[in-house]
């Protein structure tokens, strides 16, 4: 190589590699540099500069901003050779071996996809993904390639600028984000934002630039008393303003529908402590809170309770000078390194995205690989030879007819695809075309398929859909629809029944109807009403049968030798069968049961309702059902009382709620079980957003027993409410 300028570039690149990579094969870098330089010798970029300046800049990004190994740098120098010169992948393979040839080939495939505007074609996009799977360095080179192209996008025509910017925002930035390349992701987003929404970009950039000195002056003014206090306390630390990225600011303005002035966390600082004691972070928080008033609603303790990706830091927002809100992050140097490397906290809490366990495991693995490579713990060649990564092995990539990408679990069907587009599309899914051909709705889709959903307003979900649907959204939506439609059908069936009963002037209550249905082998009234609505049950026939039974009841001879009606029939058959309740002032034994709607226990004021087949149902006087019966069927209400000194145990429910904390369930359970040796039948606790709701089903003797339990539970730390459960 005779060009003095490029000799200097080569030496600069080697210096970067030596500084940032654990091990460098200088010979490999030199050979790749000279090969690429000679291959592109006569090529120019749109800017008029020598084309080789581009792969050189890409290699610098790989060496400095996304450092991994020397093979990545060499591949970056060669990544455009097969695409833009007379040399082929075969030539690269002969000169540099299989690994570099495969990386360059993968990068070339991705470039071909975008160059041909073919990214909306499923098969082409699938090739891009498979290229990444074969060797992770394909994507590292493409991230660097795209980053440099975005930095020099001004030289392309406006239509190409917008196309590349949209590709960057839709595909490259999210992938960089998943790879943990936070800085790369932010720069790609900001550059894409600049070319897609130039007016908004320039307005925000102009506003921030115009206030830069004011902002820096304010941050310095805000930080000064904190710095002095920390020094006085003997801390070793670093304080810096935290940069805010334009696209992030823009999204917040759109999401919150607020102007730039009201995006409070434009003012933010980060305190990084040189300490190994995590408790120092809390001491510093105390000092900051002593200087500035904190906003208690904006405090996050990610040290005691780290994020799932290991992110640790204290976040607080305080009222600074002039009443401005300032966000303060406090962390140790070790915490900062974890947060800035691999999967940072931005993925987990900034994007509000749910992360499944498998993807999290993958990310942790990638981060570990990167860290080990950076620290030289694993030889680069050995590391990358074994690094064959299947990024989404349990996901498939599907496309709408317009080229929109949909990612679904492996095994998904057109029903899953339809519901992923929209619930209404799923509800009215009539048929599906896969790659232009009609297929059954239970067809298992494959990665790369283009799926078109055909809908009809007359089509509704089918019970069978739930059997072959895979995604939670599809299954739950089908279940919900079926349940809602069934509820409507039951209501409509009941309305039909009541109209027929009224027309026939038949007198029958729910309990008698329930008894009749059981005798006829129908499960319950809901199934009965549903059968009427679906035309499987003829209500007039049932009415005729009931009328016939009422006209010819089974006569019962009482002790007095008289034939009596329903009540005495019941009393006669029930006598001596059960005990534990006083009926009409009599202590004789009568068949009875306790209503599940109100769960009466001794001490409650109760009444009895005479049923057919189940004896007397005991209700609390305050029960809403018994109030309705008093209005409609008062002749079937009987006076009942609790017997004295009965040691029978009864079921009662306790409803609790309050602030969640570790050990709370154990404390509440202990409080319940130690009150008069109470037995707990079941426990259900639901925790959300630091609050809990709980239901305990317990055995009690009477209302006094229950009240003593409630009093004890209310004394448990964190419990805000404890009361008898009312259904």
DSSP 557: B
Please give the sequence-ordered ranges of beta strands (E in DSSP) within 113-158, or none if there are none.
none
Do the beta carbons of residue 134 and residue 102 sit within 8 Å?
yes
Compute the average pLDDT of residues 553-574. Answer: 36
8 A C-beta contact, residue 652 and residue 601:
yes
Domain boundary among 551, 575, 599: 551
Residue 631: the pLDDT is 60
* DSSP H/E element including 594: strand 592-594
Q: Tell me 563's DSSP state.
A: B
Interstrand relation of 680-688 and 637-641 (parallel, antiparallel or unpaired): unpaired
Q: Reply yes or no on whether 449 is catalytic.
A: no
**Same structural domain for residues 16 and 108?**
yes
For the question of residue 84 being annotated catalytic, the response is yes
Give the residue with greater pLDDT, 57 vs 669.
57
**159, 68 contact by CB (below 8 A):** no
Select from 593, 610, 641 the last residue of a domain: 641
Query: Is residue 508 located within the same domain as residue 577?
Result: no
Residue 252 belongs to domain with CATH number: 3.30.460.10
Shared-domain flag, residues 113 and 215: no
Give pLDDT tens digits for 70-96.
898 999 999 888 888 888 889 999 999
Q: Is 82 exposed, middle or buried (0-12, 13-18, 19+ CB in 10 A)?
A: buried
With 0.75 as the threshold, say if the pTM is over it.
no
> How much is the pLDDT for 212?
75
259 & 319 share domain: yes
Query: To the nearest whole number, what is the mean pLDDT of the chain?
Result: 76
Does residue 149 share a domain with residue 59? yes
Q: Is residue 403 part of a domain?
A: yes
- Residues 461-465, mean pLDDT to the nearest whole number: 85
Please report whether residue 281 resides in a domain.
yes
Tell me how many helices (H) and strands (E) the chain has: 31, 20
More confident residue, 320 or 207: 320
More confident residue, 154 or 117: 154
Spatial separation of the C-alpha atoms in residues 200 and 160, rounded to whole Å: 20
pLDDT of residue 586: 54
**Residue 395's pLDDT is what?**
64
Residue 371 lies in a domain: no
Residue 251 backbone class (left: φ over 0; alpha: ψ -120 to 50; beta: rest): alpha
Question: Any idea what DSSP says for residue 434?
Answer: E
**Does 155 lie in the same domain as 27?**
yes
Q: What is the H or E stretch that residue 152 is in?
A: none
DSSP letter for 588, please: S
The pLDDT of residue 174 is above 50: yes
Which residue, of 641, 670, 700, is where some domain finishes?
A: 641
Confidence of residue 491 (pLDDT cuts 50, 70, 90): confident
593 vs 374, which has greater pLDDT?
Answer: 593
Cα(479)–Cα(456) distance, integer angstroms? 20
Give residue 502's pLDDT.
84
CB 124 within 8 A of CB 118: yes
How does DSSP classify residue 678? P
Residue 455's domain comprises: 395-470
Pair (14, 156) in one structural domain: yes
Q: Is residue 386 part of a domain?
A: no
Residue pointed to by tokens 């960089």: 176
CA distance 455 to 452: 10
Which residue out of 34, 83, 371, 549 is catalytically annotated? 83
CATH number of the domain where residue 447 is located? 3.10.20.30
* pLDDT confidence bin for 359, thresholds 50/70/90: very low
Residue 394's pLDDT is what?
52
Task: Please state the domain count of the chain.
Answer: 6
pLDDT value for 229: 94
- Name the band, by pLDDT with cuts 50, 70 and 90, for residue 562: very low
255 in the same domain as 107: no
655 shares its domain with 629:
no
Marked catalytic residue, from 34, 53, 65, 84: 84
Residue 121 CA, distance from chain mean position: 29
592-594, strands of its sheet edge to edge = 582-583, 637-641, 606-610, 616-620, 592-594
Residue 458 and residue 432 share a domain: yes
């Amino acid at each position: 190589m005779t060009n003095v300028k490029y000799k200097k570039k080569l030496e600069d690149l080697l210096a970067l590699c030596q500084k940032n990579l654990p091990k460098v094969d200088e010979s490999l870098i030199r050979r790749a540099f000279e090969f690429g330089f000679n291959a592109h010798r006569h090529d120019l970029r749109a800017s008029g500069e020598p084309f080789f300046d581009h792969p050189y800049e890409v290699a610098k990004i790989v060496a400095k901003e996304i450092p991994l190994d020397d093979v990545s740098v060499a591949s970056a120098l060669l990544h455009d050779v097969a695409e833009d010169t007379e040399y082929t992948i075969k030539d690269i393979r002969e000169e540099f071996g299989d690994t570099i040839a495969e990386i360059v080939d993968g990068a070339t495939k991705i470039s071909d996809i975008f160059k041909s505007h073919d990214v909306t074609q499923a098969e082409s996009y699938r090739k891009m993904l498979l290229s990444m799977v074969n060797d992770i360095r394909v994507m590292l080179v493409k991230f660097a390639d795209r980053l440099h192209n975005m930095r020099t996008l001004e030289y392309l025509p406006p239509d190409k600028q917008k196309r590349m910017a949209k590709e960057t925002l839709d595909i490259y930035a999210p992938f960089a984000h998943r790879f943990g390349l936070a800085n790369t992701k932010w720069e790609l987003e900001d550059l894409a934002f600049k070319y897609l929404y130039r007016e908004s970009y320039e307005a925000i950039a102009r506003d921030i630039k115009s206030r830069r000195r004011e902002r820096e002056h304010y941050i310095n003014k805000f930080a000064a008393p904190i710095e002095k206090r920390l020094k006085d306390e003997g801390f070793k630390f670093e304080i810096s303003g935290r940069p805010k990225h334009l696209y992030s600011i823009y999204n917040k303005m759109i999401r919150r529908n607020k102007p730039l002035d009201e995006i409070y966390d434009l003012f933010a600082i980060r305190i990084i402590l040189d300490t190994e004691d995590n408790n120092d972070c809390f001491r510093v928080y105390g000092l900051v809170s002593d200087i500035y008033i904190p906003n208690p609603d904006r405090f996050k303790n990610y040290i005691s309770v780290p994020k799932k990706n290991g992110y640790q830091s204290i976040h607080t927002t305080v009222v600074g000078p002039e009443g401005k809100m300032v966000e303060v992050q406090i962390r140790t140097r070790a915490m900062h390194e974890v947060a800035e490397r691999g999967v940072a906290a931005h993925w987990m809490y900034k994007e509000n995205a749910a992360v499944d366990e498998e993807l999290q495991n993958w990310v942790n693995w990638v981060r570990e690989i990167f860290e080990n490579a950076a620290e030289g713990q694993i030889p680069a060649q050995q590391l990358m030879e074994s690094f064959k990564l299947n990024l989404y092995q349990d996901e498939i990539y599907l496309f709408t007819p317009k080229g929109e990408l949909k990612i679904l679990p492996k095994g998904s069907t057109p029903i899953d695809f339809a519901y992923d587009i929209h619930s209404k599309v799923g509800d009215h899914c009539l048929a599906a075309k896969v790659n232009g051909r009609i297929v059954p709705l239970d067809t298992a889709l494959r990665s790369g398929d283009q799926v078109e959903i055909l809908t009809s307003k007359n089509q509704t979900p089918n019970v069978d859909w739930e059997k072959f649907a895979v995604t939670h959204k599809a299954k739950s939506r089908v279940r919900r629809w079926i349940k809602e439609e069934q509820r409507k059908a039951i209501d409509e069936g009941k309305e039909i029944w009541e109209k027929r009963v009224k027309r026939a002037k038949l007198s029958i209550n729910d309990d008698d109807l329930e008894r009749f249905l059981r005798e006829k082998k129908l499960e319950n009234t809901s199934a009965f009403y549903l059968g009427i609505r679906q035309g499987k049950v003829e209500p007039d026939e049932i009415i005729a049968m009931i009328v016939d039974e009422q006209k010819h009841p089974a006569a019962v001879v009482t002790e007095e030798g008289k034939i009596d009606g329903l009540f005495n029939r019941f009393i006669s058959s029930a006598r001596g069968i059960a005990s534990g309740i006083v009926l009409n002032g009599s202590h004789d034994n009568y068949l009875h049961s306790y209503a599940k709607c109100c769960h009466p226990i001794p001490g409650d004021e109760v009444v009895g309702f005479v049923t057919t087949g189940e004896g007397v149902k005991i209700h609390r006087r305050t029960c809403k059902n018994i109030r309705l019966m008093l209005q409609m069927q008062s002749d079937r209400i009987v006076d009942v009382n609790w017997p004295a000194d009965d040691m029978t145990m009864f079921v009662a429910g306790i409803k609790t709620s309050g602030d969640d904390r570790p050990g709370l369930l154990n404390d509440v359970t202990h409080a319940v079980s130690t009150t008069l040796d109470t037995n707990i039948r079941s426990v259900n606790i639901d925790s959300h957003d630091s609050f809990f709701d709980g239901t305990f089903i317990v055995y009690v003797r009477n209302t006094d027993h229950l009240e003593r339990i409630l009093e004890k539970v209310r004394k448990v730390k964190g419990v805000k409410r404890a009361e008898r459960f009312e259904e």
